[in-house]
Structure 1
Amino acid sequence: MEFRVLGPVEAWRGGERVALSGSKMHTVLATMLLAQERVVSDSRLSALLWGWEPPATASAQIYTYMSRLRKQLGEEVEIVRRPPGYVLRAPGAVVDLVEFRRRERDGRRALAERRFEEAADLLREALGQWRGTALANVTEHMLDAEPAPLEEERMLALESRLEADLELGRHEQVMAELTALVAEFPVRERLRAQLMTALYRCGRQADALHTYYEGRKVLAEQLGIDPGEALGSTYQAVLGGELGLGPRRGTPPAGRPVPSMLPATDGELVGRERELEALRGRLGQGGGAPRRILVTGMAGLGKTALAVRAAAESGGLFPDGLLFAELCGLDGAPRAPRAVLAQLLRALGESDHALPAGDLDELVRLYRARTAERRLLLVLDNVSGDRQLAPLLPAGDSAVLITSRSRLARVAGGDTLALPLLDDEASLELLAARAGRQRLDDDPDAADDLVAYCGGLPLALSIAGARLAARPHWTAARLAARLADPAARLAELSFGDLDLSRVLRSSVDPLPPAVHDVLAGLADPELGGEPFSARRAGEWLGLTEDAAENALETLVDTALLDLSGLDDQGRPQYRCHELVRLLAATLDGSGLPAVRAGR
């Protein structure tokens, strides 16, 4: 199968186009393809099909569209119901948007590494995937929401291809193209700077200066701003006669620091290959809209290790540097944004005396000014919430990779990666990487027990593996026996400065007292093992259903509780991880009613 969205939405099989009728069918297919195997909710489909006024039969109509798509696309495509929506999977299918992004990402990497001929070829191939305006035959509601970011991705790829051509001395060949593009997009400063470069190299210095003056006037009249660093530095280079062929434009100016703040990666990243590829792909996309990518999940899942590895492997796409900041102190308390901003600005070359004293707004303005014309990757680790995050978001074409135990309003759902627990196979692989495979192969039953006791949590597996590695005289069975007692398990999962109980408690300590007490009540095996509803929890804990649900949702928000689908009446079901339940057993639930149902 072949799918196309970079132009009219189409599906092709065996060289023949699949007949799809009407803008709504094309909208449903396009929405599913753009989600890239993520669930598309009914509410989003409804908004893209009918806008603010969906019909009363919207759900039934969506169901009908999905049934038609299944029939028309055939067995090569799987469309399945996954509450709260649908997901499309088409293994082996070619999607023009995926092909465009892959070639564009490789082209930008080649450009950053000064492989200009390869970059130009790859970016030209990427742009060749476009057949006109993206999503040309979908509903007006989808046209209002989706094409602009895709068109911005195309423009960024085009600008990068033109940059490669200019570095290869093709200024005469791209002159006419750049002139037409600047006329069509007069406020895109990078295009205007590229036209000035081409004009200058063709011996037309006066025309290059006129192009700058014209751009300065357009920016002032249409946007009320002055030219940015890219256009301003090109103007100064024209005046100084510095635009001959030489070092690639866009590399950091001499003397400007290129920070590299990432912590060292911790050995092999096990069981996260798919998530790592997804992060690398998103970091390489560009696309105009700010790249804010969130990795979320419970404490101990390895969010930081994944983010650092993805950042390190994507470093070539960010020639102006890699920044890293830990957003919680050693005591687990959130760090003040001002302290973090000062740290980042120092890494960007600011001296202490240049930092505004006591004024957060001034510090934010300086930070935005220093990041506006740079292509940086910023990793913000262990963000506590949106209020802490907001001042730290950079300006310009930088990307932000965030880890947090909570979902954040400032990051779109499509850019949120909820990290799952490791399955048994990956858990065993991680344990073997830390402890040595031979010791586990010697007693596979004990190895399976260790995997079960760690519950798919990478931190627990790493601690168990480290303990075995540090005690070569221990067998896997001996450690498994020590972990078998639930009352002692958390204490056993501690080694050196790694302490699972301390890490989990850092999520518990900030909870409001009422929520803290509900978590303590979940320690009871009556609720801890199987999924349960808010009604059942309320009955057990002596709370109203609403009060129980509010507390349970707070625990979900802080990644101390998982959602486990819906019951037969459509109510959410919750599940408590075994290690969290063991921690809850150590808490004081003194605020709960004295008498619980069933006692």
Structure 2
Amino acid sequence: MDFRILGPVEARRDGDWIALSGSKVHTVLAAMLLAHGRVVSDSRLGALLWGWDPPVTASAQIYTYMSRLRKLLGDEVEIVRRQPGYVLRAPGARIDVVEFERLDRLGREALRERRFADAQALLTEALGWWRGPALSNVTEFLLEAELPQLEEARMLALENRIEADLALGMHEQVTAELTGLVAEHPVRERLRAQLMTALYRCGRQADALQTYYEGRKVLVDQLGVDPGEALGATYQAVLGGELGLRGAGAARGRSDVPTMLPAAEDGFVGRSAELSLLTARLAAGTNRPRRLLVTGMAGVGKTALAVRAAEESAAHFPDGQLFAELCDQDGTPKDAGEVLVRLLRALGEPGLDGGSPRATDRDELVRLYRARTSGKRLLVVLDDAVGDLQVAPLLPASPQAAVLITSRARLARVTGADTVALAPLDDDESLAVLAAAAGAERLRDDPDSADDLVAYCGGLPLALAVVGARLAARPSWPARRFAARLADPAERLAELSFGDLDVRGALLPSVRRMAAGGPLALRALSGAGTEPFSARDASARLAVSEDEAERVLESLVDTALLDLSGLDPQGLPLYRCHELVLLYAASLDAASLDAADQDAAAHDSATAVG
């Protein structure tokens, strides 16, 4: 089965086109494919089909479209009702956007490693999946929601392919293409800089300078801004005769550029849509500060995704990449002054030893940090932020800089459009994570036990990493032995620990950051199970009013211990608790609850003072 959305939305079976009638059916199919195996809620489907004013019969009509798709697509495709919406599963199917994203990622990796011929081939193949404007036969609402992101990914792939072309000395071959692209996209500065480079290498220095002057006028007239650093640097290079043929990325070798990113996690699996969104946003040329947030429960893979996205985007930040952990191992927030000292040292600021008065003056540290980051194209990764007050002094002064934050909480400083909320992995991705650590053949030998291990981990990457590491450390153990050890819910959290990896320890900071009374409420909700429930359901368990129950539930959502799971028929929010969080809550005895509540009260007090 082949699915295509990079052009008109189409489905083909064995090369034969499947007749899908009407923009609504095309929209539903495209929305399911773009979800990459995740649930698409009824409310989102309604918004993509009818905008802000869905009909009262929206649910019935969506059900009809799903039934029609099931009949048309046949047994190879499974469309399942899973609250609060639907999920499409098509094992073995080929989806053009997935193939494009895979090849694009491989192409960018080859470009970073200066394998220009490989990068050119991979990116050319990636762009070959496009058959015209994407999603050209869906509703205007889906088009508005998804097309900008897809088009931006295509343009970045095109710019990267041209970068590889130029590095291979193909300036004559790409000059005509670049001329047309710059005319079509006059404010994309990277394209204009590439055209200037190609013209200069063709011996057309005057044309290269004219291209710059035209671009400067367009930017001033249309956007009211001057050319950015990349275009300005290319202009200076033309004047100085410095644009001779050479490998791309030469500036990366500068010894004064800070590169603080930790090593990317081996065996990174899944999150392709989220990774593409982050890298596209980080690569987008803008004169406005970019602040991106990756949020989700403990152990869901926020840091791994952020580091991978930062690593793939490093070429767009020639002045360096900064990284700071904002909490200690036990979840205690670090002092902002301590973090600023570390970042300033990486930026080359002298005289910040432990005895220096400057190293303890927070206002002076903030001033130095703003001065050091002013005008620079930096990427700053802030890991495990507690809240907006902690993040505020760590934001760079440069509008060309970008900040990528991970946090268990939503942040007011980051818009919803720039927030990536991570859900647990699906079963296929979970199995791939486990196979990468423990060995695919070992799991294939006992598929039932492998499925059990995946189920016991609940899609949590940290839990899967623990299981994979323990299996790898015990090569003589069959998978079924460890599955049997995890089968007992009372022992599961104890088993999900290996070395520095510990699911219980990862959940503890979330409990400590709760409001006073929160740990007791979490313990009371532990019997609710994993099915969605409302504030009305919780009020009985908590022995409080429905309004008070909703306040408590919202505080648990804010600390990533509960997820919002859609709306009930009356339009009220539904909540869901991850199975491992339920096990943790059920394990809290009286002493643990008292200690946790004291921690929560102390956190409330510290927050009020801060």
Contact 1:327 1:334 (C-alpha < 8 Å) held by counterparts: yes
Deviation for aligned residue 1:198: 1.0
Deviations 1:100-137 (A, max 9, x none): 11111111111111111111111111111111111111
Q: State the TM-score, normalizing by the size of structure 1.
A: 0.77
Is 1:259 equivalent to 2:259 in the alignment? yes
Q: Is the 8 A contact 1:112 1:319 kept in 2?
A: no
Quick one: structure 1 residues 432 and 352, their matched pair in 2 at CA, closer, same or farther if it must change by over 3 Å?
A: same
Offset at residue 334 of structure 1 (A): 3.0
Q: Which residue of 2 aligns with 1:432?
A: 470
1:518 matched to which residue of 2?
521
AA aligned opposite 2:407: S
The structure-2 alpha-carbon separation of the partners of 1:163 and 1:349, relative to structure 1 and needing over 3 Å to count, comes to farther
Partner SS for 2:422: strand
- For residues 183-222 of structure 1, the aligned pairs below 5 Å read 183-222=183-222
Structure 1 residue runs of 5 or longer lacking an equivalent are: 467-496, 592-599
C-alpha separation in 2, matches of 1:139 and 1:61: 15
The 5 A counterparts of 1:415-454 are 415-419=420-424, 423-424=455-456, 429-430=467-468, 432-433=470-471, 436=474, 444=481, 448-449=484-485, 452=488
CA distance in 2, matches of 1:539, 1:100: 50
In the TM superposition, residue 398 of structure 1 has moved relative to its aligned partner by: 8.0
Q: Counterpart in 1 of 2:32?
A: 32
Match of 2:376 among 336, 360, 370: 370
Q: Which residue pairs with 1:483 in the alignment?
A: none
Q: Which residue of the partner structure matches residue 326 of structure 1? A: 325
- Partner residue of 2:556? 555
Residue in structure 2 matched with residue 488 of structure 1 by the alignment: none
Structure 1 residues 188 and 533: alpha-carbon distance in aligned structure 2, compared to 1, 3 A threshold:
closer
2:346 corresponds in structure 1 to 347
Change (3 A) 1:220 1:129: same
Q: Is the 8 A contact 1:33 1:88 kept in 2?
A: yes
> Deviation per CA, 1:295-336, whole angstroms, max 9, x where unpaired?
5224xx374774588469858877855543212246634346
In the alignment, which of 430, 448, 461 is matched to residue 495 of structure 2? 461
How far does residue 432 in structure 1 lie from its aligned partner after superposition? 3.1
Identify the residue that residue 404 of structure 1 maps to in structure 2.
407
Q: How far is 1:65 from its partner?
A: 1.1
Q: String of CA shifts for 1:575-594, please: whole Å, max 9, x gaps.
A: 75223322253224999xxx
Cα deviation, 1:61-114, whole Å, max 9, x if unaligned, reads: 111111111111111111111211111111111111111111111111111111
Cα shift at 1:285: 5.9
Contact 2:11 2:17 in 1 (8 A): yes
C-alpha distance in structure 2 between counterparts of 1:132 and 1:94, whole Å: 18
TM-score, length basis structure 2: 0.75
Q: Answer yes or no: is 1:578 the counterpart of 2:583.
A: yes
Cα deviation digits, residues 18-69 of structure 1 (max 9, x gap):
1111211211111111111111111111112111221111111111111111
**Contact 1:251 1:319 survives alignment (8 Å):** no
Give the 3 Å change call, closer, same or farther, for CA 408–358 of structure 1 in structure 2.
same
d(CA) in 2 for partners of 1:242, 1:93: 49
- Residue 515 of structure 1: CA displacement? 2.7
SS in 2 for 1:75: helix
Of structures 1 and 2, the larger Rg is shown by 1
**What is the CA distance between 1:158 and its match in structure 2?**
1.0
Count of aligned positions: 542
Are 2:505 and 1:506 equivalent residues in the alignment? Answer: no
- Structure 1: how far apart are the matches of 2:116 and 2:171? 14
Shift of 1:232: 1.0
Q: Deviations over 1:402-448 (max 9, x none)?
A: 5433355746599322346964485884473486455x679959x83
Aligned residues of 1:382 and 1:402 also touching (Cα < 8 A):
yes
Does structure 2 conserve the Cα–Cα contact (< 8 Å) formed by 1:283 and 1:314? no
Q: 1:32 to 1:430 in 2, by over 3 A?
A: closer
Higher helix share: 2
Q: What is the CA distance between 1:201 and its match in structure 2?
A: 0.9
Letter in 2 for 1:334: P
Tell me: CA distance 1:590–1:51, structure 2 relative to 1, closer, same or farther (3 Å): closer
* CA distance in structure 2 between the aligned counterparts of 1:455 and 1:124, rounded to whole angstroms: 51
Amino acid at match of 1:70: R
- In structure 1, C-alpha distance between the alignment counterparts of 2:492 and 2:382, rounded to whole Å: 25
Alignment of 1:381 onto 2:387: no
Q: Identity across aligned pairs (percent)?
A: 53
- C-alpha distance in structure 2 between counterparts of 1:442 and 1:288, whole Å: 42
Q: In 2, are the aligned partners of 1:379 and 1:402 still within 8 Å (CA)? A: yes
Instruction: Give 2:70's aligned residue.
Output: 70
Determine the C-alpha separation between the residues in 2 that align with 1:107 and 1:443: 39
**Contact 1:385 1:406 (8 Å CA) reproduced:** yes
**Closer, same or farther in 2 for the Cα pair 1:519/1:93, shift >3 Å?**
closer
In structure 2, do the counterparts of structure 1 residues 230 and 308 end up closer, same or farther at CA, with 3 Å as the change threshold?
Answer: closer
Task: Say which SS state the counterpart of residue 92 (structure 2) adopts.
Answer: coil
Task: Say if 2:292 and 2:418, in contact at 8 Å, map to a contact too.
Answer: no
Unaligned stretches of 5+ residues in structure 2: 285-289, 353-357, 426-452, 458-463, 599-610
Residue number in structure 2 paired with 1:545: 546
- Report the 3-state secondary structure (helix = DSSP H, G, I; strand = E; otherwise coil) of the residue aligned with 2:252: coil
1:192-216 Cα offsets, whole Å, 9 max, x none, are: 1111111111111111111112211
> Compared with structure 1, are the counterparts of its residues 179 and 350 closer, same or farther at alpha carbon in structure 2 (3 Å cutoff)?
farther
> In structure 1, how many angstroms separate the alpha carbons of the residues matched to 2:529 and 2:82?
24
CA distance in 2, matches of 1:65, 1:368: 53
Kept in 2: contact 1:327–1:382 (CA 8 A): yes
Query: Cα gap change, 1:91/1:442 in structure 2, threshold over 3 Å: closer, same or farther?
Result: closer
Aligned to 2:241: 241
The code of the aligned residue for 1:128 comes to G
Distance 2:345 2:597 in 1: 47
3-state DSSP of counterpart to 1:117: helix
Equivalent AA in structure 1 for residue 409 of structure 2: S
Name the CA distance, whole Å, in 1 between partners of 2:335 and 2:102: 38
Q: Is the 8 A contact 2:294 2:419 kept in 1?
A: no
Q: Is the 8 A contact 2:49 2:139 kept in 1?
A: yes
Q: Aligned AA for 1:509?
A: R
State the alpha-carbon separation in 1 of the partners of residues 141 and 567 from structure 2: 30
Distance (whole Å) between structure 2 residues aligned to residue 189 and residue 428 of structure 1: 45
Give yes or no for contact 2:467–2:496 (8 Å, CA) kept in 1.
Answer: no
CA distance in 2, matches of 1:278, 1:137: 22
Partner secondary structure for residue 74 of structure 1 = helix
Counterpart residue identity of residue 382, structure 2: L
Instruction: Determine helix, strand or coil for the equivalent of 1:380.
Output: strand
Question: Which residue type is aligned with residue 75 of structure 1?
Answer: D
Residue 244 of structure 1 and its aligned partner are, at CA, apart by: 0.7
1:291, 1:398 within 8 Å by CA — same for their partners in 2?
Answer: no
Distance 1:513 1:413, change over 3 A: same
**3-state SS of the aligned residue for 2:12?**
strand
- Change in CA separation of 1:312 and 1:27 when aligned onto 2, cut-off 3 Å: closer
Aligned twin of 2:173:
173
Report how far residue 566 of structure 1 moved: 9.3
Q: Shift of the alpha carbon at 1:259?
A: 0.7
**How far off its partner does 1:261 sit?**
3.6
Change (3 A) 1:323 1:56: same
Question: Which residue number corresponds to residue 43 of structure 1?
Answer: 43
Q: CA deviation at 1:461?
A: 3.5
Partner secondary structure for residue 376 of structure 2? helix
Q: Which one is further off, 172-181 or 402-411?
A: 402-411
C-alpha distance 568-129 of structure 1, shift in aligned 2 (>3 A):
closer
2: CA distance, partners of 1:220 / 1:127: 32
In structure 2, how many angstroms separate the alpha carbons of the residues matched to 1:229 and 1:199? Answer: 19
Which residue does the alignment assign to 1:473? none
Alignment RMSD (CA, Å)? 4.2
CA distance in 2, matches of 1:71, 1:117: 45
Contact 1:276 1:310 in 2 (8 A): no
Q: d(CA) in 2 for partners of 1:252 and 1:43?
A: 46
